[in-house]
Every structure is written in C-alpha cells, then in structure tokens.
Structure 1
C-alpha cells in the first residue's frame, strides 16, 4: 500500500506539469485567434507571455497536428483547418437559447425585474421567453408579443444590427401606421443616430416610448460574425420625477456583462476600441475572456 502511494506521488507532479503546458499552449492559440492576420514568431511569444523559443516549440507541435499553419513566404503563423473544425463543432454543440435564457434568469433574479428574450420573427422582434418579477409591471406584454422597430428598446437594437434590406419594409409599414394615427412624422435621421449610439454603447434605453409609463433597456446577443441572434430586454417602471435612478447604471452594467458573455460563448469578439490598432486588441480580448471565465 505504501509503495502504491509513493508511486502515485511522481505521477501527480507530472500531471500538474502537463496541465500547465496545455494552459500555455492555449495562450499561444489565443494569440493567433485574437489577431486579424497571421503573426510572426516573436509577436506570438509576446502575446502568449513566453519566449520566442518556447513559442516555436509549441508551434512546431501544433503544425504537426494541423492546429497551426505557417506561410512559406513570410514564415508567419496562423490557425489551421483543425481549429476550424473545432469551431464548427463547438458552435453546433452550443445551445444559444439555453445560454440566453440562463442569462435572462440571472439578471431578473438579481434585480427582481421582468425580462424578455426576443428573436427576429416574421413580423419583427418577437418575445420567445418571459421572466416575470415578483411584482406586477402593469403591462400585457408576454410570449409572442411583437415589438415595433422604431418605438421600442428591443426593436432599436435589432434595427441597429440588421441589414436595411431586412428592416426597411417594416419601417415603411410602421411609419404608414403612425401617419394614419395622426402622429408626427418619424425623424429617420435621429433614428439612425440612435442606432449608431446603440452599436457604440452596446445597449438601448427606452423610457415610456412603446408602453406608457413602462421603460425598457435592451442589449443584443451577437454571433461570431457580429450578427444579432437575440435580444435580452428588461422592463421596469422608474419612480416619478427621478430622471436617472441610482441603480440604472448597475442594471445596464450587468445586462452588458451577461449578453456579452453569451455572445463570447458563440464566438463573438469585441471590436478594437476607438483608436486602438487591431493587433493590440488581441491581449485585451484574451484578458476579457479570462475575466468572464
């Protein structure tokens, strides 16, 4: 028995060293995955936090297994076809609806708010899941509810991310209905400006525009191409006379954290920050992934 324990000790040490090696290898792959193009050896080592000679050993093994390819002319390295197959397999095994629903539940339970999960349907943004708070919000919104594009927080998020070819017919219909109701014409220049703000800030805030006295904040779940897959929307009623409730910033922060977390799970990566070269975005993205995980 004692001999077995003694033999197990060295094995445990070797296993730990093996795990550390895998973690370093993942950093090498992350460096390549976060770059917009193939990278030279020294740059890969710098991004992975190891020496160029260490990076070379990892890259040599990765090349043999098809994880990495090397350009013959430049000597630079990029991801290989095996990683592409891994990515496709990972996406096929990822249940976006479940991940989004779990994120919705966490937000609503943290703030005791009513929340919706919306997807793009035949008639526009459509609620496919509802999480109610412990108190009534005084609205008949529910499963199957369809939201307007230009008068709801959910709709504006879709409008900000979908191609015009998809949204233009619905916008035309909404503007015509508004005209028949005698409402003032919609300022499309202002709507486009709001969409730019939504893309930049990552969320939309609607204060009593769609349903009187009911406000909403919404944020997108984006796929690996940056296309909107779904939208999480929180609905609430602010206290009268309070233009900027103290907990609104906290709600927005959690909403963004959860929706961006789901987006990363399906392959989305945040774009470079304003004025930041794409090459410098790679370590920042890696740090954000580590923080989320």
Structure 2
C-alpha cells in the first residue's frame, strides 16, 4: 500500500486580542443589561486587571459606556453595528441559502411560504432526491385550517391580520372537505393554541391522505413572523421516531435563523 501524506488544512490565524475582545462583548450580550467589572470577570474568566484595558478601549470607541457608579453597558456604536447588520439582511434570501442543507438532513421535501393577500403563499419548494407526489406548487396558497404552515401563520400573526381570511375559508365551498377531516371551528382554535404553545404546526393525512407535514415560524428582529418552513413527507418517514428528529431539526433551524435575523433570545 502506498503511504500518502494527508495535509491538514490550518485555520487562518487571527489576532488574539480581538478574539478576547469578542469574548468580552459576547458576555455583554448574554448579560442583557448593565454589569460591573467583577461580574464581567466571573463571566469571562478574565482577571479584572486584564479586562480593564479592553473596557477602556471599548468605551473610547463607544462600543461600551461606563456609568459614574462603575456599571458597564453596550454603547451607541454597538447599536449602530446591530442596525447595519439588520439593514443588510433579507429574511427570504437568508432562508433560501439554508434550505437545501435542511432538506438533505431531513430527507424530506421542504417548502417556504410567506404571508400574502390570500394567505400562506408558497415561494420555494426544495425537492428531495426521491420526489413525493404532493399537489403543491410555487405560487400556491396553503389552507389556514388544514395545513401545518397555515396553522403556524394563524398562531403567530396578530389575530387581526388573519381573521378575515380565516372567516372566508370557513365559509367557502371547501366545507365538505373540512367535514371529511373533522375540521370545525372548535378543533381549529384548539389546534392553533397547541401550535402556539409548542412552537410548531403539524398535520397528518390532511389535506392529502398519506402525507405528514411539520412547519415552524421564522421571525425577524421585531418578533414578526416572516416565513413558515415546512417539512413534508410520507407518513412512514414521519412516524414516532422520525417525528422527534424532524421537530428537533426544524426547531434548531427556526431558532438559529431567527436569532441570526436579530430576534432576541431566539
């Protein structure tokens, strides 16, 4: 056997003092309020004598502010940095970049929906390698009453935003279809409460028999739901064992992306 030398890719070398400074600023984000030097030392594991020069520099840059009583808080330049980051973010593009990896990890179809004039409107579908036959298309609109994405939007939008479309849907010609699935107002309202409490929506065999869907919300920095991300697949791939894995994966995706979009404590 020919022996080969495997070259390890080295991580680019950074500036240690900047890395330490970033660690200090992370502690301020975690603290979410004013903090004293001693407490900051406990949080970062850095001695007060080592911390102090960093704090002086950060105050000079207005990344931090120091009160007359010795409390440190994030300063106005930190706010400007955060706002610059938020202005440069596009929730739809950020989500689209991450969806292929999500679909591959889950092994399921993934759809993205935004709130439109007619309800949850599909803007992207990420097929898996083995496509499933499920009647959704880009530009289509999910039912509010009978889909996981519809449940998520109804649960997390202000009621005044969705109420008119909910009323319209419950009075339209799909009444027979809802009765087939035993979807009445009482069931719907209880399901929306459950969706809000657990943070995700789920439907099984509805509106298409043999298909299960899970959906999670994506929030922006203001806490407004911007998208619903749904994982869709045959029931046999989403059984009890698959259920937990899918929910964990989608929840992580939702929390990480929402946090990257500026949602506090996502």
**Which of 261, 265, 268 is matched with 2:260 structurally?**
265
Distance 1:206 1:157 in 2: 11
Tell me, which stretches of 5 or more residues in structure 2 are unaligned?
1-11
Distance 2:17 2:81 in 1: 20
- Greater than 6 Å deviation, 4+ residue runs: none
Aligned residues of 1:100 and 1:259 also touching (Cα < 8 A):
no
- The residue aligned with 2:168 is 173
Quickly say closer, same or farther: Cα 1:259–1:33, change in 2 above 3 A.
same
1:165 shift after superposition: 1.6
Q: Deviations over 1:116-145 (max 9, x none)?
A: 111111121111011112334222201011
Distance 2:175 2:231 in 1: 30
Distance 1:235 1:161 in 2: 20
**Which of 149, 158, 175 is matched with 2:153 structurally?**
158
Aligned residues of 1:219 and 1:259 also touching (Cα < 8 A):
yes
Q: When the two structures are superposed, what TM-score results if normalisation uses the length of structure 2? A: 0.83
Aligned residues of 2:120 and 2:142 also touching (Cα < 8 A):
yes
Answering whether residue 116 of structure 2 is matched by residue 121 of structure 1, we say yes
1:106 shift after superposition: 0.7
- The residue aligned with 1:110 is 105
Answering whether residue 185 of structure 2 is matched by residue 190 of structure 1, we say no
Higher relative contact order structure (alpha carbons within 8 Å, sequence separation ≥ 6):
1
Quickly say closer, same or farther: Cα 1:55–1:141, change in 2 above 3 A.
same
RMSD: 2.5
Q: When the two structures are superposed, what TM-score results if normalisation uses the length of structure 1? A: 0.76
Distance 2:94 2:195 in 1: 26
Q: Count matched residues.
A: 250
Q: Deviations over 1:74-113 (max 9, x none)?
A: 4311111111111111122234323211221112123432
Tell me, which stretches of 5 or more residues in structure 1 are unaligned?
1-14, 272-293
**Which of 203, 220, 229 is matched with 1:206 structurally?**
203
- The residue aligned with 2:5 is none
Correspondence list, 1:1-293, <5 A: 19-72=15-68, 74-177=69-172, 180-181=175-176, 183=179, 185-187=184-186, 189-199=189-199, 203-239=200-236, 244-270=239-265
- 1:147 is paired with a residue whose SS is coil
Q: Deviations over 1:219-265 (max 9, x none)?
A: 122222332221211111113xx983433322322222233222222
Moved more, 34-43 or 227-236: 34-43
1:65 shift after superposition: 0.6
